[in-house]
A and B are shown apart, each in its own frame.
Chain A
């Protein structure tokens, strides 16, 4: 992946932003189980960080993914997983389809104020009855004159308690499951929407909501792109999400290893620093090697993505990035936590927080098994019957 002076400069800005504007508040936001989204996004928007890859006409910078991945990587300096996730939802999960396929009017009305940080958004795909099986969502948007009327429920929606608008995947027809869905922008101040907050194992500073839609009306022109293309657009949008998620873990991984090395260097047992046990420093060396291997895979995927985002190889590689990052997160957080002994089992320990937060990696944005399915399909080894 290319690393120019501008990449380095953006990295510096993001890191400084995380250290000065986010990290001092993380403990309070974790305790409150929410962060002040409007304030944080406005600050990010002022620095132009919400529209890195977005078109210039709508306030973006029009840069390629090597810049947004550098941004994601530096967000890893955050001392929790919640903020990088919440920010990633806005920059790389809820907005790519709108930016690419939305009408000019829709982009002016919703994308532009999102890039300045005035409006907070969510991506609403998962449902109580359908997570991994995206084609199985049952929320409907029925046509009634110039409106869609939306009924159903969405589950696990990040930023869901604070979002001003959501990018909703809903059934707009009765055809086959991959061709009857659309992505629709839904302003959250419409009558008929209720939200309820979900308590979680980790990612506490991020508000996660279940949303209910009861006869919610939005104009048909709020649909992104063609009717019936929603599933396909969401599958494309997932590539950005997966690259973001994987890249945002790298620096956190580095930090966990470094913190564990530092702690075990100070901590003595049986007459020597715990780190001096070969099993400990070899394990940390092994884990750091895995992190570098993941970093190399991510950079390779980004290079390919920058060349041609619709290359079939990108889907496979992005899924591998996501899979490996989720798997490694579990192995690494558990492995590091072990060397902290009883301290690792305490609530406020940084490794304990990472252990809780990073566990999501193997579930959110497509579970490990879903990634394995995509990779198998690309390898031509997936049995016919399991194909959706």
Chain B
């Protein structure tokens, strides 16, 4: 079985992110980057599936040379090889899905796993577009409500489960009022939610082995995809800063303020 997993490079949420004064983007200096946490969950799920069913995890990322760092991270976790679509410059979600479509058609995986969204722009679109472009079934927000790591959870049926014939996948997904279980024919597209699993650490031997695993370089031109964005970011702005709190002398004042200023009681 072959599983294709995406690994987007995103700003580390622990970095202090500031919008440029002219609103054209964010200040890049001093930022740290990491693999999109939802993608890391995808890599982990892929590795667990191939550990059970055999096969390989191929990881793909789109961006400049620097995204190789995220590819290497996924390789260090255990992915077999990587595809790097070398592209710098603007790219919208349709563009990403278009590139991934071509990569998927080339690689012919049984399953594509993506994060439900990337934590930088929180779009939540690529998995859905990709399924549509490929004409494959999709199951978004694959999840588990409890941590998969508890003893009890380990004994439970995993959220992603292959059919006995290896021709379908059963996916538990989080919905507003509980869990829904979907069954998709393979090949299919799955996106991961936060509670699907707890990704493993990249071990030291894994990190050193990743050094010699192959990264294939592709470009939008080689894949014949026109990535001219249809969506344009006009301006970015920080949310208004939260006002400082105040101290009130007694409960009576607090109640008064809650009632007459905040109007919440």
Q: Which residues of A contact B (CB under 8 A)?
A: 5-6, 8-10, 12-13, 16-17, 46-49, 52, 61, 63
| Complex Cα–Cα for A161 and B150 (A) | 30
Residue of A9, A46, A52 touching B202 (CB-CB under 8 A) = A9
**A16 in contact with B201 (CB, 8 Å):** yes
| Complex Cα–Cα for A72 and B52 (A) | 36
**A6 in contact with B208 (CB, 8 Å):** yes
- 3 shortest A-B CB distances, which residue pairs? A48-B204, A47-B203, A9-B207
CB-defined interface of B240-252 with A at 8 Å, one 1/0 digit per residue? 0000000000000
**A61 in contact with B204 (CB, 8 Å):** yes
| Complex Cα–Cα for A61 and B203 (A) | 11
| Complex Cα–Cα for A17 and B73 (A) | 15
Consensus secondary structure, chain B interface: helix
B49, CB-defined interface residue at 8 Å? no
| Complex Cα–Cα for A48 and B204 (A) | 5
CB neighbours of B68 from chain A (8 A):
5
Residue of B69, B207, B211 touching A13 (CB-CB under 8 A) = B207
In angstroms, how far is the closest chain A Cβ from the Cβ of B140? 27
Size class of the contact patch on chain B: 10 to 19
B9, CB-defined interface residue at 8 Å? no
**A9 in contact with B205 (CB, 8 Å):** no
Residue of A5, A8, A17, A61 touching B205 (CB-CB under 8 A) = A61
**A46 in contact with B203 (CB, 8 Å):** yes
B72, CB-defined interface residue at 8 Å? yes
Known A6-B211, A9-B73; contact A52-B204, beta-carbon cutoff 8 A: yes
12 A/B residue pairs, CB under 8 Å, sorted by A: A5-B211, A8-B69, A9-B72, A9-B76, A9-B202, A9-B207, A13-B201, A13-B204, A47-B201, A49-B204, A61-B204, A63-B208
| Complex Cα–Cα for A47 and B76 (A) | 11
16 new A-B contacts at CB < 8 Å, known A9-B207, A13-B202: A6-B207, A9-B76, A9-B202, A9-B210, A10-B204, A10-B207, A17-B201, A47-B201, A47-B203, A47-B204, A48-B204, A48-B205, A49-B204, A52-B204, A61-B208, A63-B208
* Identity of the chain B residue whose Cβ is nearest the Cβ of A8 in the assembled complex: B69
**B72 in contact with A5 (CB, 8 Å):** yes
B48, CB-defined interface residue at 8 Å? no
In angstroms, how far is the closest chain B Cβ from the Cβ of A24? 14
Residues of chain B in range 201-238 having any CB-CB distance to chain A below 8 Å:
201-208, 210-211
CB neighbours of A12 from chain B (8 A):
34, 73, 202
In angstroms, how far is the closest chain A Cβ from the Cβ of B13? 13
Consensus secondary structure, chain A interface: helix
In angstroms, how far is the closest chain B Cβ from the Cβ of A22? 13
| Complex Cα–Cα for A9 and B208 (A) | 9
Of B34, B201, B204, which is in contact with the most chain A CB atoms at under 10 Å from its CB? B204
| Complex Cα–Cα for A46 and B201 (A) | 10
* Identity of the chain A residue whose Cβ is nearest the Cβ of B34 in the assembled complex: A12
**B203 in contact with A48 (CB, 8 Å):** yes
In angstroms, how far is the closest chain A Cβ from the Cβ of B152? 20
CB neighbours of A10 from chain B (8 A):
204, 207
In angstroms, how far is the closest chain A Cβ from the Cβ of B240? 20
CB neighbours of A48 from chain B (8 A):
203-206
In angstroms, how far is the closest chain B Cβ from the Cβ of A150? 35
CB neighbours of B210 from chain A (8 A):
9
| Complex Cα–Cα for A49 and B204 (A) | 6
CB neighbours of B72 from chain A (8 A):
5, 9
In angstroms, how far is the closest chain B Cβ from the Cβ of A348? 23
CB neighbours of A8 from chain B (8 A):
69
In angstroms, how far is the closest chain A Cβ from the Cβ of B199? 9
Residues of chain B in range 69-83 having any CB-CB distance to chain A below 8 Å:
69, 72-73, 76
In angstroms, how far is the closest chain B Cβ from the Cβ of A172? 36
* Identity of the chain B residue whose Cβ is nearest the Cβ of A16 in the assembled complex: B201
CB neighbours of A6 from chain B (8 A):
207-208, 211
In angstroms, how far is the closest chain B Cβ from the Cβ of A9? 5
Of B69, B203, B207, B211, which is in contact with the most chain A CB atoms at under 10 Å from its CB? B207
Of A13, A52, A63, which is in contact with the most chain B CB atoms at under 10 Å from its CB? A13
In angstroms, how far is the closest chain A Cβ from the Cβ of B209? 10
CB neighbours of A9 from chain B (8 A):
69, 72-73, 76, 202, 207, 210
CB-defined interface of B178-204 with A at 8 Å, one 1/0 digit per residue? 000000000000000000000001111
| Complex Cα–Cα for A287 and B76 (A) | 37
* Identity of the chain A residue whose Cβ is nearest the Cβ of B69 in the assembled complex: A5
| Complex Cα–Cα for A6 and B202 (A) | 11
| Complex Cα–Cα for A52 and B207 (A) | 12
CB neighbours of B34 from chain A (8 A):
12
CB-defined interface of B99-132 with A at 8 Å, one 1/0 digit per residue? 0000000000000000000000000000000000
CB neighbours of B69 from chain A (8 A):
5, 8-9
| Complex Cα–Cα for A9 and B201 (A) | 10
| Complex Cα–Cα for A6 and B207 (A) | 6
| Complex Cα–Cα for A46 and B206 (A) | 11
* Identity of the chain B residue whose Cβ is nearest the Cβ of A62 in the assembled complex: B208
CB-defined interface of B51-79 with A at 8 Å, one 1/0 digit per residue? 00000000000000000110011001000
CB neighbours of A17 from chain B (8 A):
201
CB neighbours of A5 from chain B (8 A):
68-69, 72, 211
In angstroms, how far is the closest chain A Cβ from the Cβ of B26? 21
In angstroms, how far is the closest chain B Cβ from the Cβ of A157? 28
In angstroms, how far is the closest chain B Cβ from the Cβ of A361? 27
| Complex Cα–Cα for A10 and B203 (A) | 8
In angstroms, how far is the closest chain B Cβ from the Cβ of A139? 36
| Complex Cα–Cα for A5 and B72 (A) | 8
| Complex Cα–Cα for A10 and B207 (A) | 7
| Complex Cα–Cα for A61 and B68 (A) | 23
In angstroms, how far is the closest chain A Cβ from the Cβ of B75? 10
